[in-house]
Amino acid sequence: MRIPLAWVREFAPTDMEAEALAELITRRGVKVEGVLRPWDGLEGVIVARVLDVRDHPNSEKLCLSRIAYGSGESEVVVGVRNMAAGDLVPWAPPGARVPVLDEALAVRAVRGVDSHGMLCSPRELALSQDHGGILLLNDEGIEVGTDLKSALGLGEPVFDIEVEPNRPDFLSIYGVAREVAAATGVPLAQPDLSVAETAEEAAGVATIRLDAPDGCPRYLARVLRGVGHRPSPLRAQARLTACGMRPIEAIVDATNYAMLELGQPLHGFDLDRLAGPGIAVRRALEGERLVTLDDVERTFASSDLLICDVEEPVAIAGIMGGRTSEMSASTSSVLLESAYFTRGGVLMTARRLALHTEASHRFERGTDPEGLEAGAARCASLIAAWAGGEVLTGVAGAGQAPVRRWVSMRPSRATALLGYPVAPADADDVFRVLGMRTRIAAEAIDVEVPGYRTDIEHEVDLIEEVVRIEGYDRVGSRLPRSVHPGGLPEPYAFARRAKDAMLRVGLREIRPAPFSSAEDLALFDDRDAIRVANPLRAEEGFLRARLTPGLLHAVASNQARGVDRIAIFEVGTTFRLAAPFEEHRKAGFALAGPAGDGWAGERRSFDVLDARGTLEAVLGELGVLDWSLGDPLGPPFHPGRSASVLFGGTPGGVLGEIHPRVAERLEIGGRVAVAVVGLASLRRGMGGSLVTGAVPRFPPVRRDLAFIVGEDVPAGTVAAAIRDAGGDLLASSTLFDVFRGGSLPAGSKSLAYALEFRAAERTLTDDEAQAAVDTIVERLRSDVGAELRAG
Q: What is the pLDDT of residue 117?
A: 93
Whether 345 and 297 share a structural domain: yes
Examine the fold and report which residue of 376, 399, 422 is the final residue of a domain before the chain moves on. 399
Residue 693: pLDDT band by 50, 70, 90 thresholds? Answer: low
For residues 518-529, give the mean pLDDT: 90
- Selection from 120, 98, 93 nearest residue 108 by Cα: 93
The 10s digit of each residue's pLDDT in 640-669 is 899 999 998 899 999 999 999 999 999 999
The 10s digit of each residue's pLDDT in 175-190 is 999 999 999 999 999 9
Q: What is the per-residue DSSP string for 88-133? A: EEEEE-TT-B-TT-SS---EEEETTEEEESEE--TTTTTS-S--SS
Strands of the 438-440 sheet, one edge to the other: 405-409, 445-449, 438-440
For residues 135-162, give the mean pLDDT: 92
Per DSSP, the three-state class of 53 is: strand
Whether 383 and 413 share a structural domain: no
Whether 72 and 139 share a structural domain: yes
Query: Rounded to whole angstroms, how far apart are CA atoms 699 and 701?
Result: 7
Q: Does residue 693 form part of some domain?
A: no
Note the maximum CA span of the chain: 128
Residue 483: pLDDT band by 50, 70, 90 thresholds? Answer: low
Q: What is the pLDDT of residue 690?
A: 53
Q: Does residue 191 form part of some domain?
A: no
* pLDDT top residue among 234 and 625: 234
Helix, strand, coil shares of the chain, percent, nearest 5, are: 30, 30, 40
Residue 443: pLDDT band by 50, 70, 90 thresholds? Answer: confident
For residues 364-393, give the mean pLDDT: 96
pLDDT at 685 over 60: yes
- Amino acid occupying residue 190: Q
pLDDT at 691 over 60: no
Query: How many structural domains is the chain composed of?
Result: 6
* pLDDT top residue among 472 and 556: 556
Give the single-character DSSP code of 205: T
Q: Does residue 478 form part of some domain?
A: no
- Report the range of poorest mean pLDDT among 105-109, 460-464, 475-479, 671-675: 475-479
Q: What is the pLDDT of residue 754?
A: 92
pLDDT at 479 over 70: no
Query: Rounded to whole angstroms, how far apart are CA atoms 227 and 232?
Result: 13
Three state DSSP letters for 290-353 = EEECCCCEEECCCCCEEEECCCCEEEECCCEEEHHHCCCCCCCEEEEEEEECCHHHHHHHHHHH
Q: Does residue 192 form part of some domain?
A: no
Q: What is the pLDDT of residue 485?
A: 64
- CA 712 to chain centroid, in Å, comes to 62
Q: Does residue 85 form part of some domain?
A: yes
Residue 81 burial by Cβ neighbours in a 10 Å radius (0-12, 13-18, 19+): middle
Q: What is the pLDDT of residue 601?
A: 63
Q: CATH number for the domain including 431?
A: 3.30.56.10
Whether 643 and 512 share a structural domain: yes
For residues 533-538, give the mean pLDDT: 88
Is 255:266 a contact under the CB 8 Å cutoff? yes
Q: CATH number for the domain including 242?
A: 3.50.40.10
pLDDT at 687 over 70: no
Give the single-character DSSP code of 168: G
Whether 633 and 554 share a structural domain: yes
Query: Rounded to whole angstroms, how far apart are CA atoms 174 and 263?
Result: 8
Residue 43 burial by Cβ neighbours in a 10 Å radius (0-12, 13-18, 19+): middle
Residue 198: pLDDT band by 50, 70, 90 thresholds? Answer: very high
Query: Rounded to whole angstroms, how far apart are CA atoms 346 and 365?
Result: 10
- Amino acid occupying residue 286: E
Q: CATH number for the domain including 739?
A: 3.30.70.380
**b or e along 457-479 (b: 16 or more beta carbons within 10 Å of the residue's beta carbon)?**
eebebbbbbbbbbbeeeeeeeee
Instruction: Record the pTM.
Output: 0.64
Whether 241 and 300 share a structural domain: yes
The strand pair at 445-449 and 438-440 is best described as: antiparallel
Whether 99 and 54 share a structural domain: yes
Q: What is the pLDDT of residue 480?
A: 60
Q: What is the pLDDT of residue 583?
A: 92
pLDDT at 252 over 70: yes
* pLDDT top residue among 220 and 720: 220
* pLDDT above 70 coverage of the chain, percent: 97
Instruction: Give CA angle at 372 (317, 255), nearest 5°.
Output: 70
The 10s digit of each residue's pLDDT in 264-288 is 999 999 999 999 888 999 999 999 9
Whether 558 and 433 share a structural domain: no
pLDDT at 495 over 80: yes
Whether 665 and 710 share a structural domain: no
Peptide bond just before 247 cis, omega within 30 deg: no
Q: Does residue 510 form part of some domain?
A: yes
The 10s digit of each residue's pLDDT in 48-98 is 999 999 999 999 899 999 999 988 999 999 999 999 999 999 999 999 999
Q: What is the pLDDT of residue 596?
A: 77
Q: CATH number for the domain including 122?
A: 2.40.50.140
Whether 78 and 134 share a structural domain: yes
Examine the fold and report which residue of 126, 151, 176 is the final residue of a domain before the chain moves on. 151
For residues 533-539, give the mean pLDDT: 88
Q: Own/partner pairs for 597-606, CB < 8 Å, 24+ apart?
A: 597/565, 605/670, 605/671, 606/567, 606/671, 606/672, 606/673
For residues 563-586, give the mean pLDDT: 92
For residues 326-335, give the mean pLDDT: 93
Q: Does residue 508 form part of some domain?
A: yes
For residues 668-681, give the mean pLDDT: 94
For residues 761-782, give the mean pLDDT: 90
- Could you count the other beta carbons within 10 Å of the beta carbon of residue 441? 11
Examine the fold and report which residue of 399, 422, 443 is the final residue of a domain before the chain moves on. 399
- CA 30 to chain centroid, in Å, comes to 20
Total residue length of the chain: 791
Q: Does residue 664 form part of some domain?
A: yes
Q: At what angle do helices 608-622 and 490-504 cross, to 10 degrees?
A: 130
Helix (H) or strand (E) holding 619: helix 608-622
Query: Rounded to whole angstroms, how far apart are CA atoms 594 and 630?
Result: 27
Is 751:710 a contact under the CB 8 Å cutoff? no
- Cα distances from 699 to residues 379, 561, 659, 724, in angstroms, run 97, 50, 46, 22
For residues 381-401, give the mean pLDDT: 95
Q: What is the pLDDT of residue 579?
A: 74
pLDDT at 598 over 80: no
Whether 14 and 137 share a structural domain: no
Three state DSSP letters for 483-545 = CCCCCCCHHHHHHHHHHHHHHHCCCEECCCCCEECHHHHHHCCCCCCCECCCCCCCCCCEECC
Helix (H) or strand (E) holding 774: helix 766-784
Query: Rounded to whole angstroms, how far apart are CA atoms 28 and 20?
Result: 13
Domain around 756: 701-790
- Cα distances from 319 to residues 11, 315, 454, in angstroms, run 29, 8, 20
Whether 390 and 534 share a structural domain: no
- Report the range of poorest mean pLDDT among 206-215, 472-481, 744-753, 760-769: 472-481
On average, the pLDDT of the chain sits at 92
